């Protein structure tokens, strides 16, 4: 067994089960209301990663299969963000910030040759960028709509003063929605001092040097900042134009 790899077997299963119970207990004691969500999310992760582990080898044999898998990633990410913001139906709009953030950034990374032009390198990078865009879209959309709903009087006052609907909505929701970038900014600021994120650890576990791990993680973090900044900007614009909305928000 690779000495750098995570040990699999019964012990891992027990550890995962204990960690799930700890998370559920913390949610219950804190009355967070997410105990069931912790269990379902964990079980989904087990099933999904199990399936992916079985099919990933076949997917990585072909560029067409890899492209199809990335397309599925984008669609699932859009659906997840749409549901988080308000409705599955919003996924036809949430796909825009996700693609706008992940596609040009990923294309630049690959075209520049910073990662090998192979399926095994492109697929995980695409997953990281799409995941970052999804998170930023969900956070920005929820915060923008929450703020617009809470301060709807200010929105109407701005309209009364002659602001266009888009400009009035941006004035109200942009400052709060931009806070969706805080997690990415904090992770980038503290990398190496507080955390050693996944790409760094992954390269080390794969047998790469610490320098290679650091370079990979730096590229991923900066790329995620670009992806999430674009995704947040596009999401706020969609909210301001009334394309991303909840039934109770009439702006």
Q: Is residue 245 part of a domain?
A: no
Q: Is residue 168 part of a domain?
A: yes
For the chain, how many structural domains are there in total? Answer: 2
Contact 41, 97 (CB under 8 A): no
* Tokens at 228, concatenated: 């999430």
Both 101 and 84 in a single domain?
yes
How far is it, in rounded angstroms, from Cα 215 to Cα 221?
A: 10
Calculate ∠ Cα 161-167-169, nearest 5°.
95
Both 88 and 52 in a single domain?
no
- Give the residue-averaged pLDDT of 230-245: 91
pLDDT at 223: 92
Q: Is residue 232 part of a domain?
A: yes
Both 74 and 24 in a single domain?
no
Residue recorded with tokens 């693609």: 99
Of the three residues 43, 59, 75, the one that is the final residue of a domain is 59
Q: Pick from 143, 123, 116: which is nearest to 235 by CA?
A: 143
The Cα-based distances of 50 to 44, 163, 224 in angstroms read 10, 52, 26
Phi, psi of 191 (to 5 degrees): -60, 135
Q: Is residue 247 part of a domain?
A: no
Radius of gyration of the chain (CA): 20
* Tokens at 209, concatenated: 């040097």
Q: Is residue 200 part of a domain?
A: yes
Both 17 and 92 in a single domain?
no
Confidence class of residue 204 from pLDDT cuts 50, 70 and 90? low
Both 53 and 174 in a single domain?
no
- Give the residue-averaged pLDDT of 137-162: 88
Confidence class of residue 247 from pLDDT cuts 50, 70 and 90? low
Which is more confidently placed, 4 or 49? 49
Of the three residues 33, 59, 85, the one that is the final residue of a domain is 59
Q: How many CB atoms lie within 10 A of CB 117?
A: 10
Both 212 and 140 in a single domain?
yes
Q: Is residue 246 part of a domain?
A: no
Q: What is the DSSP string of 37-57?
A: HHHHHHHHHHHHHHHHHHHHH
Q: Pick from 15, 145, 161: which is nearest to 90 by CA?
A: 145
Of the three residues 37, 59, 81, the one that is the final residue of a domain is 59
Both 70 and 107 in a single domain?
yes
Both 32 and 83 in a single domain?
no
Q: Is residue 3 part of a domain?
A: yes
Both 112 and 26 in a single domain?
no
Backbone angle region of 5, left / alpha / beta, with phi > 0 → left and psi within -120 to 50 → alpha: beta
Q: How many CB atoms lie within 10 A of CB 109?
A: 21
Taking all residues of the chain, what is their mean pLDDT, rounded to a whole number? Answer: 85
- Give the residue-averaged pLDDT of 21-26: 93
Both 45 and 121 in a single domain?
no
Contact 102, 133 (CB under 8 A): yes
Q: Is residue 180 part of a domain?
A: yes
Both 174 and 75 in a single domain?
yes
Both 45 and 146 in a single domain?
no
- Give the residue-averaged pLDDT of 170-179: 85
Confidence class of residue 251 from pLDDT cuts 50, 70 and 90? very low
Task: Say how many CA atoms lie within 13 Å of 110 toward its Cβ.
Answer: 17
For CA atoms 217, 221, 224, 230, the dihedral sign is: negative
Confidence class of residue 154 from pLDDT cuts 50, 70 and 90? confident
* Domain range enclosing 47: 1-59
Q: Pick from 110, 122, 125: which is nearest to 217 by CA?
A: 125
- Give the residue-averaged pLDDT of 97-116: 92
Q: Across the chain, where does the E strand assignment appear? A: none
How far is it, in rounded angstroms, from Cα 54 to Cα 42?
A: 19
């Amino acid at each position: 067994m690779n000495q750098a790899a995570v040990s699999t077997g019964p012990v891992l299963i027990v550890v995962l089960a204990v960690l799930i119970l700890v998370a559920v207990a913390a949610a219950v004691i804190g009355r967070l209301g997410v105990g069931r969500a912790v269990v379902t999310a964990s079980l989904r992760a087990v099933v999904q990663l199990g399936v992916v582990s079985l099919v990933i080898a076949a997917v990585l044999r072909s560029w067409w299969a890899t492209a199809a898998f990335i397309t599925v990633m984008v669609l699932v990410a859009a659906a997840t963000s749409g549901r988080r913001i308000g409705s599955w139906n919003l996924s036809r709009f949430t796909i825009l910030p996700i693609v706008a953030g992940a596609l040009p950034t990923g294309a630049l990374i690959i075209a520049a040759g910073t990662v090998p032009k192979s399926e095994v390198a492109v697929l995980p990078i695409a997953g990281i960028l799409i995941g970052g865009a999804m998170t930023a879209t969900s956070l920005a959309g929820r915060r923008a709509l929450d703020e617009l709903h809470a301060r709807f009087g200010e929105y109407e006052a701005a309209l009364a003063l002659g602001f266009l609907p888009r400009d009035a909505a941006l004035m109200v929701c942009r400052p709060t929605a931009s806070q969706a970038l805080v997690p990415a900014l904090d992770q980038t600021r503290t990398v190496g001092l507080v955390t050693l994120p996944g790409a760094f650890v992954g390269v080390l576990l794969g047998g790469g040097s610490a320098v290679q791990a650091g370079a990979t993680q730096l590229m991923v973090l900066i790329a995620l900042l670009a992806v999430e900044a674009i995704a947040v900007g596009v999401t706020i614009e969609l909210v301001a134009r009334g394309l991303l909305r909840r039934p109770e928000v009439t702006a």
